[in-house]
């Protein structure tokens, strides 16, 4: 009898059953492998499967068929066929709302200085499974017989919640150095414990991560950061020494504690802030990770103790540089660095919020306002409950002021009552820096004084033009 958790493999209308029939008819073996098998045995939704109420989207298979044979079998069945991974033995296809990847049994190794593996093919599924990252992902189910193949004890490790490699971790991590970062990603996403031999291998060969492309590292970091509570895994990344090869700013946060001028552990604080931030918001999680990276460079010890003046300015610049090197999209780089730059803004207004200060805060935050307010709240990790309540009340007051002002005036669209074309028509001037100068003056008045009329704006422009000696504009 087939366990309920594996029933999706024999559903006659499902992709696995359809594929198994096609490959069997062509004389090839077919196994379903990877995360869908692991998650099925863990009782987790299968990548958007029936338990989640969303369509199943991603299934991985392995076969003794060569890539050209896989293409031939899939052609006519798939809605779309993709051969971009053919050089590595993988053919991808779309069927309905499901993405499938079918890969020839592999025995692959990286060259010492290569970012791409040299791929050789195998005729045995056990050899292919030995080259997978962890034992929990090296479980296969043969189709259509639903025979479980587990030569490396993956099912046992699922029960133990342990992360081990099928082969010696030194060999496995040398095959694909990204697996060292993936070790901590699975620690974060599954809550499993890395095997000590794996950790030892990371400590000894972490520098090999440098041959992996920035894009692959970026994707693993993003998956790690959006786990439920990635703080413990992030700490392991730092303690293993791996962080220095792709986010060296993090280990720098473990600053030496000064016995006479105490300050909190910035590294531990950073990971606490990450854990508090909304998990489904990558921009916010990245901002939490980088919000204090400017502190080591700005640390000063004076009569009043330790200070980190303008660390948000330095940190925003460092954040932009690091995220660019990790090849994050420009929109993410801009948003994260802006959040880092602004994260101290509410704390600079201890005496209360004037209307102009609220307007300026809303204008500077723009579409990041909600994320910025959440980051500011998450940044409160003090053990002093009285101090925490005071800070949270200050943020509550800010949000209430924003709401009240938003009801009275259109805060989301802070702008002067005239545009540049109207200014040029009124003053009789051509496009250029002078137009931008007067528009900035008019915007500052809107921020400082609130809404005002178009007539008043044009009068201000006329007075300004006279002072500038702009000829007919002074009429």
Both tokens of 244, joined, read 């220095």
Burial of 76 (0-12, 13-18, 19+ CB in 10 A): exposed
Domains of the chain, residue spans:
1-158, 161-246, 259-413, 420-474
Q: Is residue 158 within 8 Å of 134, Cβ to Cβ?
A: no
The pLDDT tens digits of the residues spanning 140-155 come to 999 999 999 999 999 9
Q: Is 339 exposed, middle or buried (0-12, 13-18, 19+ CB in 10 A)?
A: buried
Calpha distance 99→412 (Å, rounded): 40
Q: How many CB atoms lie within 10 A of CB 217?
A: 21
Which pLDDT does position 220 carry in this prediction?
97
Query: What would the mean pLDDT of 123-132 be, rounded to a whole number?
Result: 94
Question: Looking up tokens 């009569």, which residue turns up?
Answer: 303
Q: Which CATH class is domain 259-413?
A: mainly alpha
Helix runs in 6-98, H state only: 15-25, 35-42, 67-74
Find out whether 79 and 118 touch, Cβ atoms under 8 Å: no
Residue 384 per-residue DSSP state: -
| Percentage of residues in the chain having pLDDT higher than 70 | 90
* Tens of pLDDT, residues 297-354: 877 776 766 667 779 899 999 999 999 999 999 999 999 999 999 998 877 655 567 8
The torsion angles phi and psi of 56, rounded to 5 degrees, stand at -70, 135
pLDDT band for 56, please (50, 70, 90 cuts): very low
Q: What is the mean pLDDT of the chain?
A: 88
Q: Report whether 73 contacts 23 (CB < 8 A).
A: yes
Q: What's the rounded mean pLDDT across residues 205-210?
A: 96
Residue 170 has a pLDDT of 95
Q: Which pLDDT belongs to residue 34?
A: 92
Which pLDDT band, with edges at 50, 70 and 90, does 256 fall under? Answer: very low
Residues listed for the chain? 475
| Choices 3.30.460.10, 3.30.70.260, 3.40.50.2300, 3.30.160.20: CATH for 1-158 | 3.30.460.10
Task: With a cut of 90, say whether residue 82 has pLDDT above it.
Answer: yes
Q: Which of 156, 157, 159 has the alpha carbon at shortest distance from 183? A: 157
Secondary-structure breakdown of the chain: helix, strand, coil percentages, each rounded to the nearest 5? 55, 10, 30
The CATH number of the domain covering residues in 161-246: 1.10.110.30
């Amino acid at each position: 009898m087939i366990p309920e958790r594996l029933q999706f493999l024999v559903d006659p209308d499902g992709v696995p059953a359809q594929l198994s029939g096609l490959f069997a008819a062509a004389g090839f073996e077919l196994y379903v492998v990877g995360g869908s098998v692991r998650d099925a045995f863990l009782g987790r939704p299968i990548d958007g499967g029936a338990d989640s109420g969303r369509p199943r989207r991603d299934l991985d298979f392995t076969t003794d068929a060569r890539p050209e044979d896989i293409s031939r079998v899939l052609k006519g069945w798939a809605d779309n066929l993709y051969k971009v991974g053919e050089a590595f033995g993988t053919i991808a296809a779309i069927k309905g709302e499901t993405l499938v990847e079918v890969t020839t049994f592999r025995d692959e190794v990286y060259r010492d200085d290569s970012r791409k593996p040299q791929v050789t093919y195998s005729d045995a599924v056990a050899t292919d499974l030995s080259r997978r990252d962890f034992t929990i992902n090296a479980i296969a189910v043969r189709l259509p017989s639903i025979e479980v193949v587990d030569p490396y004890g993956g099912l046992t490790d699922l029960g133990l919640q342990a992360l081990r490699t099928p082969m010696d971790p030194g060999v496995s991590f040398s095959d694909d150095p990204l697996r060292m970062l993936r070790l901590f990603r699975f620690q974060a996403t599954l809550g499993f414990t890395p095997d000590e031999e794996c950790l030892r291998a990371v400590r000894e060969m972490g520098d090999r991560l440098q041959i992996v492309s920035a894009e692959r590292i970026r994707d693993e970091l993003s998956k790690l950061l959006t786990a439920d509570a990635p703080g413990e895994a992030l700490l392991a990344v730092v303690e293993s020494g791996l962080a220095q090869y792709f986010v060296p700013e993090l280990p720098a946060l473990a600053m030496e504690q000064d016995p006479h001028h105490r300050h909190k552990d910035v590294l531990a604080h950073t990971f606490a802030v990450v854990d508090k931030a909304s998990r489904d918001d990558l921009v916010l999680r990245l901002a939490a990770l980088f919000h204090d990276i400017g502190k080591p460079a700005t640390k000063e010890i004076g009569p009043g103790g330790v200070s980190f003046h303008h660390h948000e300015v330095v940190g925003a610049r460092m954040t932009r540089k690091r995220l660019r090197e990790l090849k994050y999209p420009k929109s993410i780089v801009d948003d994260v660095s802006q959040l880092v730059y602004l994260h101290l803004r509410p704390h600079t207004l201890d005496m209360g919020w004037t209307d102009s200060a609220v307007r300026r805060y809303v204008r500077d935050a723009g579409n990041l306002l909600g994320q910025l307010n959440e980051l500011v709240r998450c940044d409160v990790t003090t053990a002093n409950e009285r101090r925490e309540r005071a800070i949270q009340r200050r943020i509550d007051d800010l949000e209430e002021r924003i709401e009240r002002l938003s009801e009275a005036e259109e805060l989301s669209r802070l702008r002067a009552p005239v545009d540049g074309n109207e200014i040029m028509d009124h003053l009789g001037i051509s496009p250029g820096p002078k137009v931008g100068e007067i528009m900035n003056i008019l915007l500052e008045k809107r921020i400082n004084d609130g809404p005002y009329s178009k007539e008043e704006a044009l009068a201000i422009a006329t007075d300004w033009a006279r002072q500038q000696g702009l000829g007919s504009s002074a009429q």
